[in-house]
A and B are shown apart, each in its own frame.
Chain A
Amino acid sequence: MQLLYDFFTGQMGLDATGAHVSVASLMAVLMFTVMAICAIFFTWMERKVAGFMQSRYGPMYTGRFHGWAQAVADMLKILGKEDIIPAEADKGMFKFAPILVLLGSLLAWAAIPWAPDFVAADLDLGLFYIFAASSLVVIGILMAGWASNNKWALYGAARGAAQMVSYEIPLALAAVPVIMRAGSLNPQDIVISQQGGIWHWNINPIANPFLFVAFILYFIASIAETNRGPFDMPETESELVAGYHTEYTGMRFAFFFLAEYANLFLVSMIAAMLFLGGWWAPLPGMGWIPPALNFIIKGVLLVFLNMWVRWTLPRVRVDQLMYLCWKVMIPASLLCVVGAGLWMMAWGQLK
């Protein structure tokens, strides 16, 4: 980031404010582009993973090699669709909801540490900011459901709100042991604290078993946060037509779609950052791998894990979902915080 900043002040002759604005705009555009590419790539990946897990191929024709261009073609198609707003809908809210949902995840992307010197917003409260910004998605979903003036959409939105608000607690609590170990909320510091190969990562169950449990808790909560897998209550296509985005078409639907996959990659990247050593290479001798590539590979592997869960487990009931959160995961994550603290105190790992 410093390099970019220097480029704008030195080469382009901008003052400090101008350079800040330029860097911020550039990063915003870059993040949005990466996000869109991610959505397209993960759509294709999801279909291929789902296909092979069900003993079939998935898309095979578009673009010759394993239908790689299918998602691109779908995106182009969705751009050309008619934009329909229901007559009885709350028009302002209906139009604003998809933007808010996308905004929630885009804001959170700002604080993701891609590489040692490459993070759009290097915030000291980065992790807190990420969790806070991604909570905006809940409001967007609730708005979409309410503004659609459709009972299925409202059911889906209400479920989504209940689920996402509940699961934010174990999600954040599971990150607390990591914060205790790193002694910082800055994503870069959290990554740097895991320096030195795979056994120094927070996931290592021998160094601290409570952190390993925290990773599992975080992963389950992140599936619920992204409304996927066995926890896709807000859009249960077999019960509610399509949940909160029943009434959305064309580009507005694409925004929800984009946000879903952006959120998927976001939670995977946060998991990689918190537990899998961020941009550190898995072994000390592998420093030649670009840090950003390390980070992206870890993120994609976690996305694969997420898809694997989604295409294996059947959808849970709403009451089972709430039981899991309030009676199992929150007590477990609280125990995890206490246990991890005691463990670190016992072995002198606390900062």
Chain B
Amino acid sequence: MVQYFADIYQAVSSAMQGMGITFKHIYKKPVTLQFPDERQVMPERFRGFVHNDTKKCDACNICAKLCPVDCIYIETEGKAKDRYMTRYAIDYNKCIWCSLCTENCHTGSITMSHDYDHSVYDRKSLVYEFMDPREARVPCHRQTRIDQGWWVEPKEEGDKGDDA
């Protein structure tokens, strides 16, 4: 009999306690973000979609060779000082976000961006072309780049340089 009333007391008091907690949350600011309007600020080292700045890139091909899934397509034309990059594309269908390309890029052109919501209707749309269609070709040789006023990786002490 004592247990019976103790049970009733416990049920009522614990229900009241729980309702107190839920009531407090009505006035608290919700913790969720209204996604398309508000976006979460990503941590600095967040691995989003890989991005390549073709203005910095000199088509050295290191990224394409390191890529374990071969998702980077680089096309060039010409040789030595007349070598130009005509295509730089990344196939996000294949990319595994391993970050090997960004860690080994000597110009710092390829980076992990903070984008994470590229939704597409077609798988083909996930092959991203990075060349600005207005540029069509970007010089790869260091001297040509300097001559034409492109961005160049500053030479470090003891750097032998790996210009194509």
A residues neighboring B (CB under 8 Å): 49, 51-57, 60, 308-309, 311-313, 327-328
Contact = CB atoms under 8 A, between A and B. Distances in A.
A54 B24 CA distance: 10
A328 B12 CA distance: 12
Contacts of A55: 25, 28, 30-32
B18 interface: yes
A214 B70 CA distance: 74
Nearest to A57: B30
A64 to B, nearest CB: 13
A328 B22 CA distance: 26
Interface of B: 4, 8, 15, 18-19, 21-23, 25-26, 28, 30-32, 34
A52 B25 contact: yes
Nearest to A310: B22
Contacts of A311: 22
B90 to A, nearest CB: 33
A56 B31 contact: yes
Nearest to A48: B26
A52 B18 contact: no
A53 B21 CA distance: 9
Question: Secondary structure at chain B's binding surface: helix, strand, loop or mixed?
Answer: helix
B32 A312 contact: no
Nearest to B17: A312
19 contacts: A51-B30, A52-B25, A53-B23, A53-B25, A55-B25, A55-B31, A55-B32, A56-B30, A56-B31, A57-B30, A57-B32, A308-B22, A308-B23, A311-B22, A312-B15, A312-B18, A313-B15, A313-B18, A328-B8
Contact of A56 (B4, B19, B32): B32
Q: Which of B4, B22, B23, B31 gathers most chain A CB within 10 Å?
A: B22
A49 B4 CA distance: 34
Kindly list the 5 A-B residue pairs having the minimum CB-CB distance in the complex, ordered from nearest.
A56-B32, A312-B22, A53-B22, A52-B26, A55-B31
A263 B48 CA distance: 50
B30 A52 contact: yes
A271 B34 CA distance: 38
Q: Which of A49, A51, A53, A60 gathers most chain B CB within 10 Å?
A: A53
B19 A309 contact: yes
A321 to B, nearest CB: 13
Contacts of A51: 30
A60 B32 CA distance: 12
Given A54-B25, A312-B22, 13 more contacts: A51-B30, A52-B25, A52-B30, A55-B28, A55-B32, A56-B32, A57-B30, A57-B32, A60-B34, A308-B19, A311-B22, A313-B15, A328-B8
